[in-house]
Amino acid sequence: MRAPYGLNIIDNCMICPVREEHLFCNLPLPAVQRLNEIKSTAVYPKTTMLFIEGQEPRGVFVLCAGKAKLFTSSSDGKTIITKISGAGDVLGLNATISNRPYEVTAEMMEPGQANFIARDALLQFLREYGEVALRVAEQLSRNYYTAYEEIRTLGLTSSPSEKFAKLLLSWSPKAGRANEPAQLKLTLTHEEIAEMIGTTRETVSRLFADFKKKQLLQLKGSTLIIRNKPALEKMLNS
């Protein structure tokens, strides 16, 4: 089904192209059929807030298309982006399961589609399908370790250049040879990258210039080429 923003709306989870890859996507047939019954589908324009930090948990959003940034803010307006989510990711899971306020704000970075599952319906779904409940428990554990690594990066990494190197490495494809350049589409602004590594936009601009000078990366329009992964890894181990 064609929709605004050039998106192909996926109304049926049975025919979703990413259903083999993520938490609520690769499920037994009866569970997928039940999921179809309890979710509601909507298209969201860029900058839409799916939920806001401190809001009571209404349920989860399963991204089907587009990207969303998850961020937290301090009382003085300082913002830290904790994750960039893509198709297949489940947003708001921690808060919805624990029945505590959303710990972050989720904002669409580009037009996209998401399926919403209300909290009561989700909990009943997990009661009915033990395999899905186990997968949710595994996902919550992974979320914990991801948060732990973020704290280590922000709190123990000594310099912005190390944090930037670690971020670039996290963007690099896992497959392929270590010495091969990696290409990816850069959709983040310098301000957003700064919010991911806990620094300023000006510092990020200087880091890009410095890393280009050292031939660690290259920019061609919106294409980012990571040219020397071994050198970036060496920065973290020095």
Per-residue pLDDT of the chain (238 residues), as tens digits, is 555 656 666 666 666 665 556 777 778 889 989 999 999 999 999 999 999 999 999 999 999 889 999 999 888 878 889 899 988 899 999 999 999 999 999 999 999 999 999 999 999 999 999 999 999 999 899 888 888 777 776 666 668 999 899 899 888 876 556 677 888 888 899 999 999 988 899 999 999 999 999 999 999 988 999 999 999 988 877 6
What is the distance between the alpha carbons of residues 193 and 139, in angstroms, rounded to a whole number?
A: 25
CATH superfamily, with its number, for domain 4-156: Jelly Rolls (2.60.120.10)
* Domains in the chain: boundaries: 4-156, 160-237
CATH node for 160-237: 1.10.10.10
Residues in CB range of 67: below 8 A, 6 or more apart? 84, 85, 86, 108, 109, 110, 112, 187
Checking 216-220 for CB contacts under 8 A at 24+ apart, the result is: 216/165, 216/168, 217/168, 219/186
What is the distance between the alpha carbons of residues 164 and 58, in angstroms, rounded to a whole number?
A: 35
Q: What is the pTM of this model?
A: 0.81
Residues in CB range of 137: below 8 A, 6 or more apart? none
What is the distance between the alpha carbons of residues 98 and 83, in angstroms, rounded to a whole number?
A: 20
